[in-house]
Structure 1
Amino acid sequence: MPDPNSPPPAAFRSAVRSLASVRPRPELVVRPLEAPPRLAPYSWATSVEADIGHRGDGTDDLDEPDTSGRLILLHDPDGQERWEGTFRLVCFVQARLEPGQLGDDMLPRIGWSWLTDALEHAGAGFTALGGTVTQTSSVRFGGLSGGGGGPGEGPPREDDVELRASWSPTESDGDLSRHAVAFASLVSTAAGLPPVGAVPLSRSPG
């Protein structure tokens, strides 16, 4: 374990600066997170949230966003064999599904393509990419159900897609900004946001 009184390695500090320097589109709300302990000697984390119905100035308090994501940077100066390097990026994204998407057998492949396309389009170099895409359903009861449950009605049900993935960046200069761009693009796609400068044809506010 690193000495808590010693500053993090320069390579880690540089990588964090490059990730934090990216300013995503204004519809996304970015906040720092406390990184999970014990995953690596050094770690850093951030969250990105989006809601198609929020005002889009980047400062909304999204208590229950339609789409949320976490990006975690892990660093082990000694490297780890399964990482194939000294850095590892871990992400988790959860997005609300539209009714027409329920039961789509292609959904896992589509969800995974959101990530791979985002990395490719951002020009982010990576290796040892792996993860899962899962469709989940939940039903709310009681005071947190937000209404519903009237005569002949059941409690409201929510269906989500969850993507969990990790990969090792391959940039030799330690600049990981392209990976932050890719992650923001992944969250935007999962949220159903149109390309920057385009107007969506249709999307229910959820």
Structure 2
Amino acid sequence: MPTVPQSVWRAVESVRVMKQRPDIHYCEIPVPSTLADYGIGVQLELDTESAVFSRGWIMILYSERRRIEWESQWRCVAYASMRMAGSDHNSLTPSLMWDWLERIVTEAREETLGGTVSLNRNTSFGILSGSAEEPPRSDCEIRVSWTPIEEEGGWLDAGNQVDIWARFLKSMTTNDELEEPISDRE
């Protein structure tokens, strides 16, 4: 059985001891072994009573050998989904969401950040429609990956990466600017 690298153990520990936000539910999820040698996966769901909600997950991946396409041994892969008001669904939404994401994911090597923003508009019919007055539902999905900035010695504060994604999910739902800078650690 191979020995787990010390930097992976430190990353796992940073997630275990991170301060969790009270309005977000956290749940460990498996990381497919085809993605990397080791990984940490966390599913997040915002606890809200409003009709607007966001949820998603983040996987922090580690490869025993430096990957050229990552420019590192570490890589973050994340997904977010948000229900939107129909009026928010327009041609500017993807660009605005991406700009918002770039402001929040600050602990990444800028040249390695990439992803997609997809808008879906769903109209229900028949017994699924609920009422004749129910407007079409719009959803926004974001898929993104980045190479995180490592600490000295090559280790990663994976808990901070999870918190960055939790803040992004919350900001998607509240549509508020963040109260504190992302790079400040609590």
Same fold? TM cut 0.5: yes
Alignment-derived partner of residue 181 in structure 1: 163
Alignment-derived partner of residue 137 in structure 1: 121
Q: Distance in 2 between matches of 1:66 and 1:92?
A: 14
Q: Distance in 1 between matches of 2:70 and 2:171?
A: 27
With structure 1 as the length reference, what TM-score do the two structures score?
0.73
Alpha-carbon distance, 1:156 to partner: 6.6
Structure 2's unaligned 5+ residue stretches are: 180-186
CA contact (8 A) 1:87 1:168 kept: yes
Is residue 190 of structure 1 aligned with residue 172 of structure 2? yes
Q: Alpha carbons of 1:12 and 1:76: their partners in 2 closer, same or farther (altered >3 Å)?
A: same
Does the residue aligned with 2:101 lie in a helix, a strand or coil?
Answer: helix
Pairs within 5 Å for 1:61-140:
66-103=53-90, 105-120=91-106, 124-127=107-110, 128-140=112-124
CA contact (8 A) 1:89 1:167 kept: yes
Pairs within 5 Å for 1:41-80:
41-53=37-49, 66-80=53-67
Paired positions, count = 175
Aligned structure 1 segments of 4 or more residues deviating by more than 3 angstroms = 139-143, 154-157, 193-197
Q: Distance in 1 between matches of 2:101 and 2:44?
A: 15
Identity score, percent: 23
With structure 2 as the length reference, what TM-score do the two structures score?
0.81
Alignment-derived partner of residue 144 in structure 2: 165
Worse-matched range after superposition: 187-196 or 21-30 = 187-196
Alignment-derived partner of residue 182 in structure 2: none
Structure 1's unaligned 5+ residue stretches are: 55-63, 198-206
